[in-house]
Amino acid sequence: MPETRFHAMPDGRRIAFRHSPASGPGSGPAIVFLPGYMSDMAGSKATALLAWAEAERRECLLLDYSGCGESGGDFADGTLARWAEEVLALIEAEVRGEVVLVGSSMGGWLMLLAAQQLGSKLVGLVGIAAAPDFTDWGYDDAQKAQLSNGETLFTENAYGYDPTPTHPGFWSDGQDRRQLESEIAIDCPVRLLHGQEDTDVPPKISLRLAEALRSQDVQVTLIKGGDHRLSRDSDIALLLRTVAALA
């Protein structure tokens, strides 16, 4: 696995990343993985993609958003706009050719925002339980009122002991960057994977996303028994097949 390096943003943020370059001509687009909320590039899906890319001599880029994983900064300062800026800066600095974005959960929202800025470099998207607009459908009215009043919201974390924070800056920025209420100006092929037993992001969100995308080459795959993480061996195998076919 390539060593962790750091990209310096203009304001001094240091963004951790791992980049495996292509080892030969004609190897296809770079695979760029965007992790979910409070996740990082050490997760099972990210590392599986990197290992597959290295075995196939494909280019792959992983990163930790500021305030996450090995990157510097405070998580409380994180927003979709800030993290999209980091994604685009790393792609510009490290990737010369075309790109397939793979976004997990919140990373699936972030990939939509980044995709609309990549122009001709973008050749495909793969969403894994993509969660666009979760600042809207993921909170009730009382929680939204708390966040709009500038209070941090803490909710039960099904994957750890500490509650999950939602900071008002992130929530407000998310509300400004909702995607599902109008056509999304993306025309490349899109593949959306979603577990039917996902209790965090309802499968209908992937169906709404498929409808909103302008692209006519969109496929949604519902996975029986799959939960939000989609990290079983069979789920990872499906992800790798999907990326390989698209890229």
pLDDT at residue 61 is higher than 70: yes
CA distance to 13, 99, 120, 172, 209, per residue, from 35 (Å): 18, 16, 23, 21, 18
Pick the catalytic residue: 105, 133, 167, 206? 105
Residue 101 near residue 115, CB atoms below 8 Å = yes
Minimum mean pLDDT range among 25-29, 51-55, 206-210, 221-225: 25-29
CATH of domain 5-134+187-246: 3.40.50.1820
Rounded distance, CA 173 to CA 171, Å? 5
Query: What pLDDT, on a 0 to 100 scale, did the predictor assign at position 26?
Result: 65
Pick the catalytic residue: 7, 167, 194, 228? 228
The average pLDDT across 62-80 equals: 98
Rounded distance, CA 206 to CA 198, Å? 11
What is the tens place of the pLDDT at every residue in 176-199? 999 999 999 999 999 999 999 999
Q: Which residue has the higher pLDDT, 44 or 158?
A: 44
What is the tens place of the pLDDT at every residue in 72-120? 999 999 999 999 999 999 999 999 999 999 999 999 999 999 999 999 9
Strand segments (E) across 83-145: 99-104, 122-128
Rounded distance, CA 93 to CA 247, Å? 21
Q: Which residues contact 123 (CB under 8 A, 6 or more apart)?
A: 29, 98, 99, 100, 188, 189, 247
pLDDT at residue 25 is higher than 70: no
- The residue ranges of every structural domain in the chain are 5-134+187-246
Residue 198: active-site member: yes
Residue 228: active-site member: yes
pLDDT at residue 24 is higher than 80: no
Residue 27: active-site member: no
Query: What pLDDT, on a 0 to 100 scale, did the predictor assign at position 158?
Result: 78
pLDDT at residue 166 is higher than 90: yes
pLDDT at residue 174 is higher than 90: yes
Q: How many CB atoms lie within 10 A of CB 155?
A: 12
**Residue 69 φ/ψ region, left for φ over 0, alpha for ψ in the -120 to 50 degree band, beta for the rest:** left
Pick the catalytic residue: 194, 198, 206, 235? 198
